[in-house]
Chains A and B, each alone.
Chain A
Amino acid sequence: MGTIVLIALTAAIINNFVLYYFLGICPFIGVSRQVSMAVGMGLAVTFVMTVSATVTWVINNLILAAGAPLVIADLSFIKYVIFIMVIAGMVQLVEMYVRKFYPGLYKSFGIFLPLITTNCSILGCCLLVDLDKNGWFALAQAGPIGLLHTIVFALAAGGGFALAITLMAGIREELDVADVPRPLRGAGITLLVAGILAMAFMGFAGMGR
């Protein structure tokens, strides 16, 4: 139980995907203009991230890795191709689902929904699970509970991402009416504010102990 809390805390706040790992910066700078859109995007990303991480964990540990239960040879060289195709497929599914059942939401998302495929944070989540620096996720080291750990990690990471872009959107709503020097308008000031946010989040370092 302690491990699960640690994983969740680490993914969401201590090693926040946006402010520590620099994943998902493009939508961070681009999308986060309104709080409502930011929340929506955060939820969509969280969902896709969790599903993708789970599916890629299953494929990676049961088929691709060396010595995996269902494998005939070490197929880990197609790992990245499979990862990105799973993610693209998941995004397509989400897109079709939202289009069918929530057409209004679909319209307001516009181009950003298919763009989630190129969101570094989703592929980054799958890669971090695969890299598994702490031995939490891989089947070989953690056993089947690695899957539970992966789901928790992805959920928390998505939540952290949503938190970061919502914070950013809130700040940017204020920035839009502030008097920003011309060269810094747009990406410049966003990055500077992100830097200050990152500094704030640095305060969480060491919480893992």
Chain B
Amino acid sequence: MADATLSPLVRFRRGFFAENAVFVQVLGMCPTLAVTNSLDGAITMGIATSFVLLCSNIVVSLLRNLLQPHVRILIFTVTIATFVTIADYTLKARFYDLSVKLGPYVPLIIVNCLIIGRAEVCASKQGLPAAVMDGLGQGIGFTGALAVLGTIRELLGAGTLLNARVLPELTRAADGTIEQIGWDPWSIMIMPAGAFITLGILMGLANWIAGRRKAA
């Protein structure tokens, strides 16, 4: 990717589809699979990651001329860890239930390959506007991907969306007869296996769409 000459606006848009973090770059898999069993968790994780990505890109871009080769990665890591801690504490203070739901996956943003990747590829080489737009674009693309996954998994796996019931619940009486017609949730969707399978199918879909676009 000839990144050096891209304008900030192009970078911004590339983050959505062409260089989508999840479907194209295949980065940041751990949170993508882990927290997308509910839509609110997915969106929260996406926003938290975007926040860290943006701040880290800004700091790294500002410091880019001072980076020595040996300590580059260390600076990236410390910067990211700091912003993740800030995000974690903010979540715990303001959105405690979501913080408990996301559990250890918030601090795991530190090792999200996406953030270190962007710092390495873009922020450490580009000026502030490019870094900001790149961070925003990638963040939005990442959040979008998580949201798609979260919607599918929560809807099919529990019949709810954002914890509000969307599909009517199928209830049975004691002897097994159906009391109320509704969606019998595919529990596998909320479980790890469902995450893998859903993402796998979506990847295939994304690749297929990309293939059609190229051919067109």
Q: Do chains A and B touch in the complex (CB under 8 A)?
A: yes
Binds A, one of B57-65, B130-138, B167-175, B202-210: B202-210
Is B98 in the interface zone, CB < 8 Å from A? Answer: no
A194 to B196 CA separation, bound complex (whole angstroms)? 6
Interface of B, secondary structure class, is helix
Is B78 in the interface zone, CB < 8 Å from A? Answer: yes
Shortest B88–chain A CB gap in Å is: 7
Asked if residues A120 and B108 are in contact (CB atoms below 8 Å), the reply is yes
Asked if residues B34 and A188 are in contact (CB atoms below 8 Å), the reply is no
Binds A, one of B4-12, B22-30, B43-51: B22-30
Asked if residues B113 and A80 are in contact (CB atoms below 8 Å), the reply is no
Asked if residues A183 and B211 are in contact (CB atoms below 8 Å), the reply is yes
Asked if residues B200 and A29 are in contact (CB atoms below 8 Å), the reply is no
A-B contact count (CB 8 A): 128
Contact of A195 among B78, B196, B204 (CB under 8 A): B196
Contact of B103 among A29, A131, A188 (CB under 8 A): A131
Binds A, one of B13-21, B153-161, B176-184, B185-193: B185-193
Asked if residues B203 and A187 are in contact (CB atoms below 8 Å), the reply is yes
* Interface size of A in residues (CB-CB distance below 8 Å): 44
Shortest A93–chain B CB gap in Å is: 14
Contact of A196 among B84, B193, B203 (CB under 8 A): B193
Shortest B34–chain A CB gap in Å is: 4
Asked if residues B30 and A26 are in contact (CB atoms below 8 Å), the reply is yes
A194 to B200 CA separation, bound complex (whole angstroms)? 9
Asked if residues A84 and B77 are in contact (CB atoms below 8 Å), the reply is yes
Most chain-B CB neighbours within 10 Å: which of A81, A83, A117, A196? A81
Interface residues of B in 62-82 (CB under 8 A from A): 73-74, 77-78, 81-82
With A26-B113, A124-B108 as contacts: A182 and B211 at CB distance below 8 Å:
yes
Is A184 in the interface zone, CB < 8 Å from B? Answer: yes
Shortest A41–chain B CB gap in Å is: 16
Is A128 in the interface zone, CB < 8 Å from B? Answer: yes
A191 to B33 CA separation, bound complex (whole angstroms)? 10
Residues of B within 8 A of A196 (CB): 193, 197
Residues of A within 8 A of B103 (CB): 131
Asked if residues B111 and A182 are in contact (CB atoms below 8 Å), the reply is no
Interface residues of A in 105-164 (CB under 8 A from B): 117-120, 123-124, 127-128, 131
A19 to B206 CA separation, bound complex (whole angstroms)? 23
User: Which residue of the partner chain B has the closest CB to A123?
Assistant: B111
Is B199 in the interface zone, CB < 8 Å from A? Answer: yes
Interface residues of A in 10-42 (CB under 8 A from B): 19-26, 29
- What are 15 A-to-B residue pairs whose CB atoms are below 8 Å? A22-B29, A23-B30, A80-B107, A84-B77, A84-B110, A123-B111, A124-B104, A183-B206, A183-B208, A188-B204, A191-B199, A195-B193, A195-B194, A195-B200, A199-B188
User: Other CB < 8 Å A-B pairs besides A29-B26, A183-B206, 14 of them?
Assistant: A25-B33, A29-B29, A78-B85, A81-B81, A84-B81, A88-B73, A118-B113, A124-B104, A188-B207, A191-B196, A191-B197, A191-B203, A199-B188, A202-B193
